[in-house]
Each structure stands twice: as C-alpha cells, then as structure tokens.
Amino acid sequence: MSSEKLGFDFSTPKTLLIKLSGDWHISTGLLGTGEVTSQLDSHPDVAQINFSISPDLKWDCGLISFLLQLIKACEQKKIQVTRDGLPPEAQKLLALALKVHEKTDLPPKERKSFFDEIGEKAFQTGESFGSAFNFLGDITVSLGRLILGKIFFRWDDFMFLVKRCGVDTLLLVSMISLLVGMILAFVASIQLKMFGAQIYIADIVGIAMVRVLSAVMTGIIVSGRIGASFAAELGMMETNEEVDALKTLGVSPVEFLVLPRVLALVLMMPILTIYADLMAILGGFLISIWMFHLNGLEYLNHTQQAVKLSYVWIGLVHSFVFGVIIAIAGCLRGIECKRNAAGVGNATTSAVVTAITGIVIATAIITFICQVLGV
C-alpha cells in the first residue's frame, strides 16, 4: 500500500529524494513517517531531503500532515528538508502551518481532581443559598420602593404577566385537580367501603385538597409551566445583554423584570389554588355519585361541615409561599444564566428542580407549624 505512495532515491550523495505519487486524500487513510525514518536510519549520512512528484499525485491535508511530521522528525536529526519539489499549493499550506504564531495569553485550562470538584460543589451550594436570600432581599427592597411609588412600574407588562400566570394555566390546573380529586376519592373508598362509610370520602377529599394538596399540585404545575418560562425568558435576556442594557439605563433588573413576575405569580397562585380546590371537590363529588351512588346533596353537606374556613386559609398560605418560591427560583436561575447555548437549558431545568424541592420543603415546614399551633 504505502510503497505505492512513496519512492526513495539515494543516487545523489548525502541526499534522499522522496518520490510522492498516488492518492493521498485523507479518505484513503493517513500514512505515518515510519517508512521514511527507517530509511534514514539505514542511511545515516543523509543530510538533505528533496521531493519529486509524479503526475498521478492526488493530495489534500493528508499529505500536508505527513510532510509536517516528516519536517519535525528531520529537525531533530538535523536534516535539511527542501520543499521546492512539492506542489506550489502544498508549499503554501506548509508555510502557513509552520508560521510562528503570536503568543496568546489565555489562561491554561486546568483539570480539577475529584475532591476539588466535590469541595467546589459544596461551596457553590452554600453560595446559591446565599444568593437566593440576597435576591429575596433585593425583591423586598424593590417592593418597598414600589409601595413608596419610587419605581417605574409598567402596569401593562404586569397585567400581561397576570394573564400568563392565571388564564394560560387554568385549563391545566382544572384537569389535574379534577383528576387528583377523583383519584383521592377512589383510593379513600377502598378502605371506607369496608366500614360502609363511603360518605367520608367527602371529608377526605375536602380536607386533604383544601389544606395542602391543591396548593401543592398547582405549585407543581405552575413551576413547570410558568417558573420554567420565567427562567428561559430571563436567561435569554441575560444572554442577549438585555439585562445589561437595563442596568446601564439605571433601571434595576430586579425592579423591572423580577418584581412584576413575582407579584403576578403571588397574586395568581392563591386564586388558582381556590379554583383547584373547587375542581378537586367536584372530582370527588362526581366519583361518589357515579361509582358509589351517594346522595349529591349529602356529599356537599359533608364537605361543608368538614372543611373549616381555617383550612382554606392554610391552603392559601401554602399557595402564597409556593408562589414566592416558584417566582424567585425562576427569576434567580434566569438572571444567573450562563451566556452559552447550554446556559438557558440548565437555567430552566434548575428553576423547576429548585421550585419543586422548595415546595416540598415548605409544605413540610408549614405542616409542622400548623401541628404545633394546633390548627
């Protein structure tokens, strides 16, 4: 194979004439310099290499790569390489490739050890908690400034965001909470049927949904739909330097971008939750009537007796807290977004994960507090 491409001629003293021929395209594979170096080893008196090309020589960068290696190998052996016999284009490319490059002072890429990375992750987690609280502080300050009427607040944007948070999620919330109400009724009935106490389905569905589940389900839907879109939107704005443009205009991005989003979501989450409560009770109601032939009026009466007004307030507190968590997670991850293609994707994922984790932790804390307070 290789001998078809390379020919060696030692007829001139102290000079090796390499004849290049055949197809040198990279598609045919690359040739190493082994053959030439072994020739040079057996003729240690060679001090110069010349080239000649045959008319059937076809080449691309495969040949250039070979020649570069050869030139480097010959430099070490102090053999002179004359490039005059090569095709003129190849000479140009070789000159280009061998040009001395200006030094660039980019910092060298460092490789981190496993333990370094763990340590860094740990510090990052701490920092991300810190930045979340800083962010919360910023939002509180700008809320104060809003109340004092000191900031430029675009109510049009706010109303649009309210529509996006509320109306656009309504259908999804209806479907999910109706189904969750039905599922809960179903699961409860399996146990209650044994005692003939199916009517208590109303109590279980009503209390469970109104106290926590509606808020949690709505929170999960909203963090997937709205929180993620906040993160993607702000991440894109950060990447496009739109956030920087606001800063140089003297507008705080927290006041202009984050505050309207947090307020819109905090306003809409309780409303969506109340709506979800109703849909869930409707779900339980439908199952009880169709599957267990309970009296509809009796079911509603039971629900009314079981669900105290304080439970509704507890549900609303949940939804308020979730609204804050989702909006902050979405906006914070968006603002922190890294300026590359993967950045926006990571910001979106991380916003949803943060929001859902936050929702679960907050639920646990609120439930505990309610337990202590005895409500």
Partner 1 sequence: MDATIQPVIEVKDLEIGYDDFTVMKDLHFNVNKGDIFIVMGVSGCGKSTLLKSMIGLKAPSRGKVLFYGKSFWDQDEQGQKNIMRRFGVLYQSGALWSSLTVGENVALPLQLYTKLSSQQIQEIVALKLSLVGLRGHEDYFPSGMSGGMCKRVSLARAIALDPEIIFFDEPSAGLDPINARKLDDLILELRDGLGATIVVVTHELASIFAIGNNSVFLDETSKTMIATGDPKVLLANSKDPRVMQFLTRGRSDDEQKRQ
The correct pick among 148, 194, 309, 341 for binding partner 1 (CB under 8 A) is 341
Report in angstroms how near the CB of residue 82 gets to partner 1 at its nearest.
19
Stretch that binds partner 1, among 20-28, 120-128, 213-221, 256-264 (CB under 8 A): 20-28
Q: Note whether 340 binds partner 1 by CB under 8 A.
A: yes
Q: Note whether 339 binds partner 1 by CB under 8 A.
A: yes
Report in angstroms how near the CB of residue 228 gets to partner 1 at its nearest.
21
Q: What region does 106 belong to: left with phi over 0, alpha with psi -120 to 50, or beta?
A: beta
For 184-225, the DSSP string reads: HHHHHHHHHGGGT-GGGHHHHHHHHIIIIIHHHHHHHHHIII
Q: Note whether 84 binds partner 1 by CB under 8 A.
A: no
Q: Is 207 exposed, middle or buried (0-12, 13-18, 19+ CB in 10 A)?
A: middle
Q: Note whether 342 binds partner 1 by CB under 8 A.
A: yes
Stretch that binds partner 1, among 15-23, 63-71, 303-311, 323-331 (CB under 8 A): 63-71
- Measured in whole angstroms, the distance separating CA 286 from the mean position of its chain's CA atoms is 40
Sheet arrangement for strand 6-9: 6-9, 15-20, 48-53, 80-81
Q: Using DSSP, state whether 87 is helix, strand or coil.
A: coil
Q: Which two tokens stand for residue 145?
A: 């400034």
Q: Indicate the residue among 26 and 289 with the shorter CB distance to partner 1.
A: 26
The residue type of 80 is Q
Q: Note whether 98 binds partner 1 by CB under 8 A.
A: yes
Q: Note whether 124 binds partner 1 by CB under 8 A.
A: no
Q: Indicate the residue among 94 and 201 with the shorter CB distance to partner 1.
A: 94
Q: Note whether 148 binds partner 1 by CB under 8 A.
A: no
Q: Indicate the residue among 30 and 167 with the shorter CB distance to partner 1.
A: 30
Q: Note whether 194 binds partner 1 by CB under 8 A.
A: no
**Number of residues in contact with partner 1 under rule CB under 8 A:** 30
Query: Dihedrals φ, ψ of 20, to 5°?
Result: -100, 130
Q: Note whether 55 binds partner 1 by CB under 8 A.
A: no
